[in-house]
Amino acid sequence: MKKRHFETLAVRGGAEVDPETGALVPPLHLSTTFERDPDGGYRRDFSYSRSDNPNRRALERLIAELEGGEEAAAFASGSAAAGAVFRSLRPGDHALAPREMYHGIRSLLLQALIPWGLDLTFVEMTDLTEVRAALRPETRLIWAETPSNPRLGITDLAALADLAGEVGAVVACDNTWTPPPLQPAFELGAGLVVHATTKYLAGHSDLIGGVVVAPRGGTELFERIRFLQRNEGAVPAPFDCWLTMRGIRTLPYRIRAQQEGASAIAHFLAGHSRVERVNYPGLPDHLGHDVARRQMTGFGAMLSFEVAGGEEAALGVAARAELITRATSLGGIETLIEHRASIEGPESPTPDNLLRLSVGLEHPDDLIADLEQALA
Ligand SMILES: *Cc1c(COP(=O)(O)O)cnc(C)c1O
């Protein structure tokens, strides 16, 4: 049969009609443990829910299918997924990470993984000359996040994968901001794809979760990630897997509408006299616009902007928002605004007049009206 479209996979993937009951929606399997066969085997394939669970397995299949990967390992958070990726290396192994990245993972690297033994170099990942200079024969992993958080810098993934290939390193791409089908990271050469499912995949701001996806054919690192998942057990509960799957059913339509709103807002902000700068890869004057156009199928629904008048002015804009909610996180159906520098702490490289927007599903005109009054 012809390869199915992404919308169809999102609605139909990961689950069949329940053979026992005819239920269309997968039953929730809360059982910790599963019956063993008289001969001691497990012919039904499940033994203990830390190792595997029907709801988790269905979610993993669905996400692997959407990313065009072989298999996936679901975790209790995006951060746990990222931690497992780095700890699939050996202490002493060398890795690269972007200077601008999700601050929670940067903290994990600095405060847990480097002390654990990871040999890490931070680089400006959008500058491939700097990446090349930092690579060593023993580099095993390059962590990429594009667009980056919170200034939406664009890294050329295909070129990065070529560089990685020269030393036999794997590119792990944090695709949280670019849920399928926005950035086909495996086609661009990534060796692992990571998501905080907390964000767009679940999409309703009601759970915490993460996932690591392996490319077709699998990789040695993924085997170790799977081992850590099953043996440490930082896994999502069955109901969270169930909710994430329900969220994914509408992902293509959510992301399409959300990015339409983001584009309208970016253009509105770009023309506003109190806005000094808008970071959105869909704007033609964005530094990464051409690469983004090549490697993304859409520009996403995240953007940030810098307010004239510094930190105080930026905080004032956020304070005056009435419809848009001041809160961290992203990817949900409600639009959120956040002053990043104050949540990232004193070492944050984020400009103190920057506000980040996660554009939701409200009507764009209502969101623009709210920003207009907040900027007045
Ligand atoms: C939120 C986020 C994470 C971490 O996910 P949690 O589920 O909060 O642990 C990782 N990467 C990016 C880009 C994120 O936005």
Q: Of ligand 1's atoms, which has the minimum distance to the CA of residue 79? A: 9
| Residue nearest atom 4 in ligand 1 by C-alpha distance | 78
Peptide bond just before 91 cis, omega within 30 deg: no
Q: Where does the chain show beta strands of DSSP type E? A: 71-75, 94-98, 119-123, 139-145, 170-174, 192-196, 210-214, 275-279, 302-307, 325-326, 336-339, 354-358
Give the pLDDT mean for 172-190.
Answer: 98
Q: How many CB atoms lie within 10 A of CB 319?
A: 11
The pLDDT, as a whole number, for residue 1 is 64
Model pTM greater than 0.85? yes
Give the pLDDT mean for 255-259.
Answer: 98
Report pLDDT digits (tens) over 198-230. Answer: 999 999 999 999 999 999 998 899 999 999 999
d(CA 147, CA 150): 8
Measured between alpha carbons, how far apart are the two ends of the chain, in Å?
56
77, 79, 106, 149: residue to mutate for ligand 1 pocket, most atoms within 8 A of CB: 79
Instruction: List residues near ligand 1 (CB under 6 A).
Output: 77-79, 102, 104-105, 145, 149, 174, 176-177, 196, 198-199, 208, 210, 330
Give the pLDDT mean for 356-370.
Answer: 98
Give the pLDDT mean for 46-54.
Answer: 98
